[in-house]
Copies of this chain bind each other. A is one copy, B any other.
Amino acid sequence: MSATQNSPVTETARRAKEAAAELAPLPRTARDAALLAVADALIARTDEIVAANAADIDKARAAGTPDAIVDRLTLTPERIAAIASDVRDVVALPDPVGEVVRGSTLPNGLELRQVRVPLGVVGIIYEARPNVTVDAAALCLKSGNAVLLRGSSSAYASNGALVEVLRDAVAGAGVPADAVQLVPGESRDSVRELMRARGLVDVLIPRGGASLIRSVVEESTVPVIETGVGNCHVYIDEAADLETAVAILVNSKAQRPSVCNAAETVLVHEGVAAEFLPLAVEALAEAGVTVHGDEAWQKAGAQVVPATDEDWGTEYLSYDIAAAVVPSLDAAVRHIREWSSGHTEAIVTGDTAAARRFTSLVDSTAVMVNASTRFTDGGQFGFGAEIGISTQKLHARGPMGLPELTSTKYVVTGDGHTRG
């Protein structure tokens, strides 16, 4: 069940596995010291990082990359200082490792403890932003894991420089350098080898667009945590306060449309459609949002464009929203069950029974009652950090903080106990 080839990628994974074994029993003080050394080194070696980043930027510009993407790629001294500050914030978080999750003394006197332990080797496959390189490494180190980083080839030089800084810093603090490694190679083959390194890599977390995530989920023999695809819905119930409903709808859609917890569809109970639709059409237009509506929505405003089935299934990540009128709460739930990616759905209602039914029937990572979909976020939830938002049901669901980067083991202590 383990990877057998001896490619550069599997060799990297093998070294990560050895580093993970050394890292796992280290106490919090050792891991925290390594992270503080990382924060210091990022500041001290800013010039080096900015220089490497400049090479990526030149390459991106030469390739005609859009400005917004180039901006995401760019590291300035200020941004590096912010990244270092985030690392210090991670140091301050509670240590998940060693937490006793469950414990009891069994009738025969055996002492049972279920204890949090690191997962081992965590692989992160991600796109564009080089700050993820440091964030992900910091969260993995804090939780006692070795990390294999596979960033976008467009950030290869930046990521290489950052990982050099990280490796030197942790090694200087007595943590094995191989606890932080870049996956070698810029081709798709290196991703494929990482996905087949079962037995060496304990989990893969893909962060990025839907097609990246789908390909990892379908091809990986290493266990995967699916993240991020968010076709989120806002349902305006018959019993909604309409002013509140407009505010939540506009905030869910337009406060930051490019992220996974932004709303992509609004469903409105027919009982309030006549009153709500004109308000919503106006407010969405003011926020710069194009409405892709069903017939009822089209009648509510000339600027509403017709929606097709494709719209119901689309994660726009832009100033666009699909919109429909539904005959009932249950019809809204059926629509969500058919089209949602299971990330976040919101209901706006003043009716406790409607809220209870919606939260019970909707099977998504997060269900909001009278609140914006934008709150599904590790920072907003008070987790202090987030490695991603899981949209799957196994292991972790929703924003993943440090505990989600751990497994557990049972430690059972007796004094010569045998089974009769």
A interface, CB within 8 angstroms of B: 1, 21, 24-25, 104, 106-107, 110, 112, 114, 117, 119-120, 198, 202-203, 214, 217-218, 221, 223-225, 241, 244, 247-248, 251, 255, 337, 355, 359-361, 363-372, 374-376, 380-382, 392-395, 397-398, 407-419
A-B pairs with the 9 shortest C-beta distances? A371-B414, A251-B418, A393-B407, A371-B417, A395-B395, A244-B416, A366-B410, A374-B419, A394-B395
* Chain A interface main SS type: mixed
Chain B positions within 8 Å of A117 at CB level: 363
Chain B positions within 8 Å of A398 at CB level: 114, 408-410
Asked if residues A408 and B414 are in contact (CB atoms below 8 Å), the reply is no
Q: Report which of B255, B355, B415, B418 forms a contact with A419, defined as CB distance below 8 A.
A: B255
Asked if residues A363 and B417 are in contact (CB atoms below 8 Å), the reply is no
Asked if residues B203 and A417 are in contact (CB atoms below 8 Å), the reply is no
Asked if residues A214 and B1 are in contact (CB atoms below 8 Å), the reply is yes
Asked if residues B365 and A409 are in contact (CB atoms below 8 Å), the reply is yes
A119-B394, A223-B392, A368-B412 given. 4 additional CB < 8 A pairs?
Answer: A198-B217, A367-B410, A397-B407, A398-B410
Knowing A393-B119, A393-B120, A419-B251 touch, does A414 contact B374 (C-beta < 8 A)? no
Question: For the complex, what is the distance from the CA of A364 to the CA of B21, rounded to whole Å?
Answer: 12
Question: For the complex, what is the distance from the CA of A106 to the CA of B381, rounded to whole Å?
Answer: 7
Least CB distance from A171 to B in Å reads: 21
Residue of B at shortest CB range from A372?
B418
Knowing A25-B360, A119-B393, A363-B120 touch, does A381 contact B417 (C-beta < 8 A)? no
Question: For the complex, what is the distance from the CA of A200 to the CA of B156, rounded to whole Å?
Answer: 38
